Structure 1
Amino acid sequence: MAPLVESLEEIGYVDGENTLWSSLRFSIWVSCRRSPMQGNTLGVPLVDPLLVRGEQRSSETNLWLLPNPTIFGTKQLVITPNATYSAYEIAQFLENIGFSEGVYPYKSRILPLIEKTIAPGVPITCIIGSGVKTAETLLYRKNCYGEQPEIVYGDGDGTVNMASLLALESLFAENKNQSLKVIRISGVSHTSILKQNIALDQITGEISCINSIAMSAAV
């Protein structure tokens, strides 16, 4: 984060005084889907994923990272020899992997909110990375959720795939009262977007433009 803060300070940013910058993203994180199935060690060596699966299943924040049916539709996200699952089959998917206790919070807390996303009514600018290999689909050759799946890759920022990155375009496309600007930066990843100069220049440029417009309107 330091490179971004330094870049903002160069254009006159003072923490808490003259710039309010926040981000909103809808993500389908393959790590989230792997965690309740067979566990995800997050790259820690010599750890059996099954040993951490129970703890990861108890984290309700993982449910918030599951795909929004409005965005992903009927696209197959998990493929096994006996079944395929789209965003519409998440509840059945949780049942089939032996995580039935996750079904109720998913249906009662997650779905009601993500199915009724309301446009905020203020201008939104999204700056995203693209053109980086990003996990998109899990493929199981055997009908066993304890094995490590093959991962099918697509476009995205290396962490969040393109469908999620462009979610606001899909959600607010028909809302003429919602101003939305999406800027893609090719070859920039989810983590490097706050470090690479090409991304920092774009971010600070957009913030300067927004602040200038706001200050002009206030005069």
Structure 2
Amino acid sequence: MPRHDDEERGTRGRPTGALLLRFAYGAGLIALGACLGIVIGSLTETPRLLLERLRGPVETVELGTPAPAKAAGSAASAPLERFGELQEGKRPKPSGEPAEAKPEPELEPPPERVPPAELEPAPPVAAAPVAEPPPVPAGDPAEPPAAPRPQSAVVQVASFVERKPAEELVAKLGGSGFDAYVSQPAAQNGRFRVRVRPGTGESSEDLAKRLRGVGFDTWATSE
């Protein structure tokens, strides 16, 4: 018997728990719906509030008694005319009468060019007479300048500071059959040079060989 009573109590408590769950589920759905409604309402209301703040305070206009149809038509066309005036701005309205054209100033003709005065040609200037050179008296024809004397090649043998040893060497060479002589000293060094002239039909090279053959140092030069 005690076991049977416990089973009856368990079967009676189960429906009560299910009802609580259903109640809690329904309350949750209601709360969720309320939250969604608040969120959606705030989303739709916020732009409208922002627009109203941007536009400024809203003026309320009291509407009087409706006028006849003609007055209503003119009242409806008034905002359109005002809108057209705002669009045109300060554009001046064309007047009925055209503006009078201003006469253009008359241009003065250019001044006539005065031709330059005719200049008389200057009289020709007579050329000054050119003095002719006096005639050269006829005389003996001028002699042509003398041709320069060709320098003959000689062979130098020695040079001395004093004249005496130079003359002694000339005497020695003359005894050997050479045509020797003493050259006067130049101003810059004052030396006496002993030179030998080549014989008839003899070149300076042949003379130098002959002098070297008897023991003299030679070098070719000119008088």
**TM bracket, shorter-chain basis:** under 0.3
Q: State the structure with more CA Rg.
A: 2
Q: TM-score, normalised by structure 2?
A: 0.15
